[in-house]
């Protein structure tokens, strides 16, 4: 008896300590279907927006790499002042000393070369020639980065759609379980009143009333737990959809259209090999590693650059003011201490790692698809069992109603039968929604959007 009283006191303390979800909302609920929720998340989710920006950033970087194919035109200008100039001294009589004229020149002459302040400006065009091999590999690597970013965006979209479905289903399940828990509370109240009457009439011991009171408190505890679960699921779904936190949602109770079409196991494996985002990302990593190896090997090719320049100068001796020049530049490292060889070996290792990782991910995807397909089949079996249990509970509730009408059973037995029926209904819905989530998870593993 003391142990039972302590249990009752503990339940009373827990119920008093738990925060109660405020059901009254000043804001009218927002009607929401699953398809609408997925579309809303794909438009407003911040994680997807970041993934889209990553794709845009990769495209800009690819454009920057592509620009290296084209000629580069630059201008260099400058002003220079020299403190002292060199010159040419012509001594007197250097060209002879005729009697008629005297010494030529008559006195020593000093001819300046240029001026102390000079002005130069040149516009030069440079066209890479043999560097095209390296530029091509750089563009291949940039294209692989763009492909990886796009794959990651697709993966993020699939994951967001799957998460929306999970939260949507969890919220529906929590609502139905709340209704079932409230039915249990109603049945517990009827049972407790009957036990109190029996104790008052001397037909039962006090412990019977205490037991029913404890069961009632357990049912009330379940109600509060479900309300908290609904609150958490609503907040998570609001955040995923990009809605203000606390936005009340009115979900569509019709779950008949939530099933996802799934092909055969062999077809799922084939599609996953072709469309799985994990495999596609690994393939892009292999492509980038191949480009890195090609660039490392191209480092042995001398850099030959064609150039043409148009220049202007003022103050520099022996040059006209405007002149042009053209030609080629060649640059080659004769000795680098083994740097290029080390880069090639490193690139080969990176490529081998990418290939091994691709093989590993392909096997992992096969395992994941097989496991997910098994989960779909098990969920389908669970739906069948839940349907059978619902049929049994429906018949039991019908029998309880008839017995109550014929005064062959107590009201508490009838209320308990209906509470069990509500629990069976919520279990069937939970199993059906669980099957929907399992099917969507398989779709996501296959690289398809799980709508």
pLDDT at 26: 54
Distance CA 84, CA 295 (A): 50
Per-residue confidence of the chain (451 residues) as pLDDT tens digits?
A: 444 444 444 444 444 444 444 443 456 888 888 889 999 999 999 999 999 999 999 999 999 999 999 999 999 999 988 887 777 778 887 777 887 777 887 788 777 677 788 889 999 999 999 999 999 999 999 999 999 999 999 999 999 999 999 999 888 888 888 888 888 888 888 877 877 887 787 777 777 778 878 888 888 888 898 888 888 888 999 998 888 888 888 888 888 778 888 899 999 999 999 999 999 999 999 999 999 999 999 999 999 999 999 999 887 777 788 989 999 999 999 998 999 999 999 999 999 999 999 999 999 999 999 999 999 999 999 999 999 998 998 888 888 888 877 776 778 788 888 888 888 888 888 898 999 999 999 999 999 888 7
> Which of 185, 186, 204 is closest to 195 using CA atoms?
204
Distance CA 344, CA 399 (A): 81
pLDDT at 133: 93
DSSP sequence for 281-305: HHHHHHHHHHHHHHHHHHTTS-EEE
DSSP sequence for 90-117: E-TTTT---TTT-SSSSS-EEEE-S-SE
Pair 278, 363: CB distance under 8 Å? no
Distance CA 377, CA 447 (A): 20
Helix (H, G, I), strand (E, B) or coil at 313: strand
| pTM confidence score | 0.77
Distance CA 199, CA 291 (A): 86
Distance CA 270, CA 276 (A): 10
DSSP sequence for 388-407: HHHHHHHHHHHHHHHHHHTT
The token pair that represents 55 in the structure block: 């794709």
> Which of 302, 326, 322, 320 is closest to 311 using CA atoms?
322
Pair 247, 257: CB distance under 8 Å? no
**How many Cα atoms within 13 Å fall on the side-chain side of residue 3?**
0
Helix (H, G, I), strand (E, B) or coil at 77: strand
pLDDT at 100: 76
Q: How many CB atoms lie within 10 A of CB 94?
A: 13
Q: How many CB atoms lie within 10 A of CB 242?
A: 14
Pair 227, 179: CB distance under 8 Å? no
Domains recognised in the chain with CATH numbers: 2-11+34-77+118-445 (1.20.1600.10)
> Which of 256, 231, 234 is closest to 32 using CA atoms?
234
What is the enclosing helix (H) or strand (E) of 362?
helix 339-405
**Tokens 């958490």 sit at which residue?**
232
The set of residues, in sequence order, having a beta carbon less than 8 Å from that of 101 and lying 6+ positions away, is none
pLDDT digit string, tens, across residues 175-208: 888 888 888 888 888 877 877 887 787 777 777 7
> Which of 206, 164, 133 is closest to 47 using CA atoms?
164
């Amino acid at each position: 008896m003391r142990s039972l009283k302590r249990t009752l006191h503990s339940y009373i303390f827990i119920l008093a300590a738990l925060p109660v979800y405020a059901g009254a909302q000043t804001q009218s609920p927002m009607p929401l279907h699953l398809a609408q929720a997925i579309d809303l998340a794909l438009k407003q989710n911040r994680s997807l927006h970041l993934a889209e920006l990553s794709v845009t950033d990769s495209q800009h970087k690819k454009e920057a790499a592509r620009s290296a194919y084209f000629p580069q035109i630059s201008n260099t200008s400058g002003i220079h002042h020299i403190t002292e100039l060199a010159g040419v001294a012509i001594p007197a009589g250097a060209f002879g000393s005729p009697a008629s004229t005297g010494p030529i020149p008559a006195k020593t002459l000093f001819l300046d070369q240029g001026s102390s302040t000079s002005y130069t400006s040149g516009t030069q065009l440079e066209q890479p020639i043999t560097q095209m091999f390296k530029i091509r590999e750089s563009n291949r690597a940039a294209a692989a980065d763009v492909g990886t970013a796009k794959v990651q965006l697709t993966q993020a979209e699939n994951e967001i759609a799957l998460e929306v479905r999970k939260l949507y289903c969890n919220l529906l399940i929590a609502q139905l379980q709340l209704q079932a828990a409230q039915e249990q509370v109603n049945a517990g109240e009827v049972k407790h009143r009957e036990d109190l009457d029996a104790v008052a009439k001397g037909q039962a011991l006090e412990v019977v009333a205490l037991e029913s009171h404890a069961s009632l408190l357990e049912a009330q505890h379940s109600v509060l737990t479900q309300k908290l679960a609904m609150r958490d699921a609503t907040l998570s779904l609001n955040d995923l959809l990009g809605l203000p936190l606390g936005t009340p949602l009115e979900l569509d109770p019709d779950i008949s259209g939530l099933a996802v079409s799934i092909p055969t196991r062999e077809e799922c494996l084939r599609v996953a090999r072709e469309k799985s985002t994990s495999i596609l990302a690994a393939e892009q990593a292999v492509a980038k590693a191949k480009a890195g190896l090609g660039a490392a090997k191209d480092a042995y090719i001398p850099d030959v650059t064609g150039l043409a320049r148009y220049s202007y100068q003022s103050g520099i001796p022996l040059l006209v003011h405007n002149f042009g020049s053209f030609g080629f530049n060649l640059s080659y490292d004769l000795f680098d201490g083994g740097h290029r060889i080390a880069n090639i070996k490193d690139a080969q290792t990176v490529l081998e790692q990418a290939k091994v990782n691709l093989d590993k991910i392909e096997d992992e995807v096969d395992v994941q698809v097989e496991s997910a397909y098994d989960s779909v089949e098990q969920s389908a079996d669970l739906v069948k069992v839940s349907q059978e249990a619902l049929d049994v509970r429906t018949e039991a509730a019908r029998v309880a109603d008839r017995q109550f009408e014929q005064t062959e059973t107590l009201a508490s037995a009838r209320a308990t039968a209906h509470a069990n029926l509500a629990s069976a209904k919520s279990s069937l819905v939970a199993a059906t929604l669980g099957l929907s989530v399992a099917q969507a998870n398989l779709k996501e593993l296959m690289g398809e959007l799980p709508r």
